[in-house]
Structure 1
Amino acid sequence: MHHSTRSRDRRSRTVRTAAALLASTLAALGVVAVAEPARAVPVTITNGTQFTATNGSIVHAHGGGVLKDGNFYYWFGENRTADNRFLAVSVYRSTDLKNWEFRNNVLTQSSAAELASANIERPKVMFNASTGKYVMWMHKENGTNYSEARAAVAVSSTIDGTYTYQGSFRPQGSFMSRDITIYNDNGTGYMISAADENFDLMIYRLTPDFLGIAAVVGNFWNDAHREAPALFKRGSTYFMLTSAATGWNPNQAQYATSTSISGPWSGWTNVGNSTTYSSQPTFVLPITGTSGTSYLYLGDRWAGAWGGPVNDSQYVWLPITFPSNTSMSLNWSPQITIDVAAGTITGLSPTYYRVTNRNSGRVMDVVSNSTANNAEVKQYAWNGGGNQRWEFQDAGGGYLRIVNQNSGKCLDVTSGSTANGANIIQYTCGSGQNQQWQWVAIGSYFQLRARHSGKCLDVVNSGTGDGADIQQFTCGSGNNQQWSRTAV
């Protein structure tokens, strides 16, 4: 045993010495070994947040798409100025879909004269195996209004290098083209875009080099008023995922299916909740690993819904499940775990709480089960309804967003007021500090302190009855400002 161990040690030293000699010889010849990226481990992503790149900056890849190339996933998307005009198409890369390295602004205002004062939306990139080129399609407007409704194309010989702008046009010379996506179907390229003031959804087959449109495949949903298309294939079924056209405000996602891109296509079926968890589809990413292929919904939670600029928008990524070969399901998870090596996505179920006032024994309630913005939050006796159940989401910095189960909207101090007596409502979740709260222990109870004002959630006049209003007020020692939470 001892002899064989010494023999192994000698062999190991010999191998290490040979490897060292080889490395020094290659270095002397100017040959540099490139290390493979580390094998990705499972990662957890928090939804309804902005993502941070590895350099500490915010990831601006809004309306974007992801392309797997080698060991990396490349994420292209919109990066805008503070006044919502086009700044760049930015690209990031990752091996695990959480740790994103900023690579380049591959298309900028200076890439072409017509981009100097433009809007560029929903950029998507495909690789053309026959030409060896990476081709980007996008929606182009003039930066002032949405009258152009044009498609635009850019091309590059490297995935994250500079893209050469090829110009913009209306498909077939006359079709409007707004929200856009592309799809590579075993070497045949397709472009899908909203047309006719977003009432129609057109499918086009691309030229073999992917740089132009060869033919109209069809308008299968005339006057359906759908936008934000995301096309993917699972097994022998194509899924076309879309949103309704309601501006920045989120709405009910719907999908259609077919066994061929050229149809016939089914009608529309709802998926997710009535606001698609306050998001809009942008892309569906297949993730293939040792356990098979999973499908990841990529959605934008647009800041325009709360009056903010596009670059304040957040991301919602959710696992898609398939009850049957021709149906899909999308359920909310505050966090998801992605294992790209295994090809698995796991949603973590949210925990909901009833939030009870110490003084009255009544709970925080959205009046009349409303799902509308500005709906009143008051206290009522516990009845178990979704309008009395709240999720505590991490908003960073020790603060929380408190989200109603029934509406998906956030506990909000109206208009960002810092005044005593400011009303408490529900509103579409955003990044405002008037929707961020500290859960501060006061003995065995807690105060909820608004980040923007430092004031406390307070039952008006220490009311004990149903319907007593809830406001913010300077923090004190009253039981009407003390709360408990119980998982339900």
Structure 2
Amino acid sequence: MKRFFLYGCFLGLFLPVMGAEVNEPTEMTASIKNPSFEEGLNGWEAIGFQKQTNNSPSDEGWNKDGTVYAEKWVSSSWTLPDVKLSQTVTGLPQGSYTVKVYAHAVNQSGNPEITKGVSFFAGLNEVQVGAGGEYRINVIVTDGRLDLGMKVSSTDANWVACDNFRLYYHGREEVDAYRKDLKEKLALASAAMSEKDCHNRSQLEQAVHNAENVEGDIESLLTAILDLEQAITEYRRLTVEYGAFERAFLNARKLYSETDFPGKTVFGEAIDQVSPMLDVPEGKDLVGAVTRLEKATQVYLDSRPSNWMTLRNGALWKDDRGEVVQAHGAGFLQVGDTWYMIGEDRNNTWNPDVNMYSTKDFVNWKFERKIIRNGSTHPSLGNGRFIERPKLMYCRKTGKYVVWCHWEQGNYGASEAAVFYCDSVNGDYKFHWAGRPLGVKSRDCNVFVDDDGTAYFISTIEENQHLGLFRLSDDYLSAVEYTELFKWQSREAPAIVREGDTYFMMFSACSGWDPNQASFSWSKSLTSGWSSRTNIGNSVAYDTQAASILTIKGSEGTSYVYVGDRWQDPGLAESKTILFPISFKNNTITFNYVPRFDMNLPTGQCRTTGMTHLVSKESWKVRACSSEEISSENGASSNAIDGRADTKWHTRYSGGVSEAPHFLEIDMGNEQEIAGFLCTPRNDNSSNGLIRKYLFLVSSDGIEWKAVSGGTWLPYWTEVYFEPIVARYFRLVATEGTYASLAELDVLSSAPSYTPVKVTGSWQYGTMVSSSKNPNLRENSTVKFMARTEETKGTWAFYGPKGQMLHTNEYNISSLKAEDAGWYSFIFTDYYNQSAKVDFKLRVRTSSVGVKEVPSEAEGIVRRQYFTLSGTEVPIPVHRGMFVVRTLYEDGRVDVVKVFIGDSDC
């Protein structure tokens, strides 16, 4: 009855039209809004398409109609992203129609000659578009509506254009037209049933059965066509929505099975309520089911017990394998109680894979896998193309995980983006598309998903001149429109977060790998109304560049955590990921770095960590310093221990610059056990005097000093640990630099999980090599001290008894003197900021006590042999005793001596 009523309505409404002769179709192009684009794209839903006025279509064999046509074009070096141009025509009578359009889809490079992935569609029918010309589709309209347009999906074309859509009505009396349309829809339905993930198979089977047994009258054919259309439409809906529902269901069930929080019973009931839809999804509100599961998941997560964890900045992270976490330019996504992080693996410095890690507390990291691999995920990766700043999103509509990133070549001339996707968060991601989004040059990038699920890709565009905000399609796989922001301001590393009804965007200037001043802007709209930029933090953004802003939601509220890359620290592979809390109030950002803080994911809270491990400064005083600037500014050395980060010590520059090494020496007033130190850099608008190459010395009496830490890279505002030692005095030395400065200097009473690498040492005396730590050697002889470690990620420092300060793991003395006696120390500081060392105590003897000296290597020795007193030749002696040494010289002389070799010589 319903179908008959619809037919009657249309019959009465369009009776004059329907009375036309069947062989003379009635043009109904007027039913299409703006069919020739003379009003631009008004009336059309244009996802990625743009209007154009040139005459270029004539090069492809057809001419535009009027002055405007629609197109999507990128340089022939690239291919088009997924785009779509569509319109729904309404108020049409039932019957047979022909839709026509002039169009082409080509690759102007000539390769391939015949492109794929572009179609002209009307209703459920479509034809592939290739060479320029007129395309047509015959279609039956069953319900007064007709969707028509162009769509591009995974194409190898670089130019698609269309113009002059036309619509012709043939009436409803052409039985052959109905039979042809029925045949085409039968093919679509059969293809759908053959798919593995067909979720309304019974509906399709019934519609196909009815169609194959339909009677030949128009009403029966129309009914069969309508049944097929509904089944095919439901199949396409379920193809999208079932994937999202299944992924939400599996994520919820995984969380349920792996956890045991207080709200588990209620959470399980919510999962059970929607589980029948897995088997029978036809006609079900899967989108609503996803929403219910998401709400139930958040309620369950809010029942988690409080769990405060301390996060420490400035050191490399290790994963569950004991390997260094490699995820630079990181992107983050929360799934249940697990956070996933992806980023660049800079072990392969200029061709990074993309790694994924997971955590439940941001302290313990599990390596999931390489989700994007050079030469595997895409043949160009590692072969002319590389990835930077990969960012991860979850598309609620499709249930797929999507990665957008910067897709580049060695000279940064490509200026492109790339898109990858996967059905599971930690699976192998598939390549979808790469190119310039909407034809715009794109580099440094990020993503943002708004509260309504709309996703955006934001990047620095057009040679780093502006920022481009690209709204993404509903499936997050392509850009559909973009807005230029912050024109001519040369911003990069954009990161967007929403707090309430206000959007905040952070960014940096463009200065390569070097840090610079961070700034932010705010707006009530993403596409307009952004405030002027306001600087935040110090002049180098605490030696970071923004990667992400995390929104931490929990049972007690919401916190925000800034994530920045500390690039080149000191190399790309050693770049650190820095996190610290930020907050928003009255359109401002509180952006203050801390070397450590506490975070509670279940409650959504952050707090400042108590610094009880810092030694009290109550009795401290500056004992000495290399110089201080007190004429042109307050750079007094006492500022380094005043407990304030807004003052500083600075070496002299007025009346002549004080030369390196620069040092600051502190008397703590009494002996303390110390296990590390913290150097807070200056916090004004300059990084002048930042200390990198350093030594840290301690003493109990202020006379004899020992080196306990050192290297060529003092980490920025980061705790450095060494083996606990009792001392009253300490000295920080900047071994190089025109100036030195710092805001505050602290020492630590304890070091968390101090597990330094093992440093071994040896020394070479002639051809003899010994690992003894107490060499007793003759005056005027030559010795070489050496230190080694199996760890490669770290730097060296050396300290000698006469105050020698170098950055090496080898030290030579060509002619020993009595004053060379003393301690020789080699210190290795790894990139976990742990210092370890090896010490040698050298004694220098002035006489051999009547034993003839063994000649030195400098005398032209060809070969030296060792014999026992019984005449047996032995290797270089490693035990004490009397030996006969036979030495052959270059001039032919032979010297044989009897020598006693003691423990200190071995």
1:319 to 581, 584, 598: 581
1:254 to 519, 526, 533: 519
Q: How big is each residue's C-alpha offset from its partner over 1:336-368, in whole Å with a ceiling of 9 and x where there is no partner?
A: 10001110112337779989999x823476758
Q: Distance in 1 between matches of 2:616 and 2:330?
A: 34
Matched, 1:141 2:141: no
SS at match of 1:303: coil
1:34 to 257, 263, 269: 257
Q: Distance in 1 between matches of 2:433 and 2:616?
A: 53
SS at match of 1:103: strand
Q: Distance in 2 between matches of 1:272 and 1:456?
A: 40
User: What is aligned with 1:404?
Assistant: 681
Q: Which runs of 5+ in 1 are unaligned?
A: 1-32, 371-377, 393-397, 416-424, 461-472, 478-488
Contact 1:401 1:411 in 2 (8 A): no
Q: Distance in 2 between matches of 1:337 and 1:81?
A: 30
Q: Distance in 2 between matches of 1:260 and 1:160?
A: 33
TM-score normalised by the chain length of structure 2: 0.40
Aligned length in residues: 403
- Aligned letter for 1:35? E
Whose Rg is larger?
2
Contact 2:638 2:649 in 1 (8 A): no
Q: How big is each residue's C-alpha offset from its partner over 1:414-454, in whole Å with a ceiling of 9 and x where there is no partner?
A: 79xxxxxxxxx9998549xxx96858756532466997224
The offset of 1:35, in angstroms, is 2.6
- Aligned letter for 2:606? I
User: What is aligned with 2:399?
Assistant: 132
SS at match of 1:205: strand
1:330 to 591, 594, 597: 591
Contact 1:363 1:388 in 2 (8 A): no
Q: Distance in 1 between matches of 2:488 and 2:519?
A: 15
- Aligned letter for 1:386? T
User: What is aligned with 2:488?
Assistant: 223
Contact 1:149 1:177 in 2 (8 A): yes
Contact 1:410 1:427 in 2 (8 A): no
Matched, 1:340 2:684: no
Q: How big is each residue's C-alpha offset from its partner over 1:111-146, in whole Å with a ceiling of 9 and x where there is no partner?
A: 11111333211111111111111110000112x221
Q: Distance in 1 between matches of 2:584 and 2:460?
A: 26
Q: Distance in 1 between matches of 2:330 and 2:523?
A: 24
User: What is aligned with 1:388?
Assistant: 649
How is 1:60-99 mapped onto 2 (pairs within 5 angstroms)?
60-82=326-348, 84-99=349-364
Contact 2:677 2:721 in 1 (8 A): yes
Contact 1:356 1:363 in 2 (8 A): no
Distance 1:166 1:241, change over 3 A: same
SS at match of 1:68: strand
Matched, 1:362 2:627: no
SS at match of 1:261: coil
SS at match of 2:602: coil
User: What is aligned with 2:728?
Assistant: 444
Identity percentage of aligned residues: 30
Distance 1:76 1:401, change over 3 A: same
Distance 1:102 1:446, change over 3 A: same
Distance 1:45 1:201, change over 3 A: same
- Aligned letter for 1:46? R
Q: Distance in 2 between matches of 1:166 and 1:200?
A: 26
Matched, 1:108 2:373: yes
Matched, 1:50 2:312: no
User: What is aligned with 2:693?
Assistant: 413
Q: Distance in 1 between matches of 2:592 and 2:715?
A: 20
Q: Which has the higher contact order (CA 8 A, sep 6+)?
A: 1
Distance 1:380 1:69, change over 3 A: closer
Distance 1:364 1:316, change over 3 A: farther
Q: Distance in 2 between matches of 1:236 and 1:474?
A: 71
- Aligned letter for 1:361? R
Q: Which has the higher strand share?
A: 1
- Aligned letter for 1:276? A
TM-score normalised by the chain length of structure 1: 0.72
Q: How big is each residue's C-alpha offset from its partner over 1:225-270, in whole Å with a ceiling of 9 and x where there is no partner?
A: 1100111100000011111111111111111111111222111111
How is 1:132-171 mapped onto 2 (pairs within 5 angstroms)?
132-142=399-409, 144-171=410-437
Distance 1:171 1:344, change over 3 A: same
Contact 1:106 1:162 in 2 (8 A): yes
SS at match of 1:255: strand
Q: Which moved more, 1:406-415 or 1:40-49?
A: 406-415
Q: Which runs of 5+ in 2 are unaligned?
A: 1-255, 262-303, 651-663, 667-674, 696-709, 736-794, 805-819, 825-906
Contact 1:334 1:349 in 2 (8 A): no
